[in-house]
Amino acid sequence: MITNKNCIIRLSRYKNALYRLQALGFVKVFSDNLADAVGVTASQVRKDFSIFGISGNKKGGYQIDLLLEKLNNILGKDRLQKVIVVGGGHIGSALMRYRGFEKEGIKIIAGFDIDPAKINRSNPVPILPLEEARIFIKTNGIRIAILAVPDIAAQQALDLICAAGIKGVLNFAPLRLKAPESCIVNYVNLEIELENLIYFVNVAEKTE
Ligand X SMILES: NC(=O)c1ccc[n+]([C@@H]2O[C@H](COP(=O)([O-])OP(=O)(O)OC[C@H]3O[C@@H](n4cnc5c(N)ncnc54)[C@H](O)[C@@H]3O)[C@@H](O)[C@H]2O)c1
| 75, 10 Cβ separation under 8 angstroms | no
Q: Does 39 bind its own copies (CB under 8 A)?
A: yes
Strand intervals (E) in 1-155: 28-29, 62-63, 81-86, 106-113, 127-129, 144-147
The amino acid present at 15, given as its one-letter code, is: K
What pairing do the DSSP bridges indicate for beta strands 81-86 and 127-129?
A: unpaired
Question: Which residues would be at the binding site for ligand X (CB under 6 A)?
Answer: 86-92, 94-95, 98, 100, 112-115, 118, 130, 148-151, 153, 156-157, 172-174, 190
Q: How far apart are CA 132 and CA 128, in angstroms?
A: 7
Torsion sign, CA atoms 88, 94, 99, 101: negative
Phi, psi (5° rounding) for residue 86?
Answer: -105, 120
Interface with DNA includes 189 (CB under 7 A)?
A: no
Residues 133-192 that bind its own copies (CB under 8 A): 143-144, 146, 151, 167-170, 174-176, 184, 186, 188, 190-192
138, interface contact from ligand X, its own copies, DNA, none, CB < 5-8 Å by kind: none
Residue 200 binding partner per list DNA, ligand X, its own copies, none, with a CB distance cut-off of 5 to 8 Å that depends on partner kind:
its own copies
Contacted entry of DNA, its own copies, ligand X, none for residue 159, CB cut-off 5 to 8 Å set by kind = none
Binding track, positions 62-81, relative to DNA; x by CB under 7 A: x-------------------
Buried b / exposed e over 36-63, threshold 16 CB at 10 Å, is: ebbebeeebbbebbeeeebebeeeebbe
Please give the backbone phi and psi of residue 187, each rounded to the nearest 5 degrees, phi first: -115, 135
Among 50, 90, 120, 135, binds its own copies (CB under 8 A): 90
Contact residues toward its own copies (CB under 8 A) are 1-2, 5, 8-9, 12-13, 16-17, 20, 37-39, 74-77, 81, 83, 90-91, 93-95, 97-98, 100-101, 104, 106, 143-144, 146, 151, 167-170, 174-176, 184, 186, 188, 190-205, 207
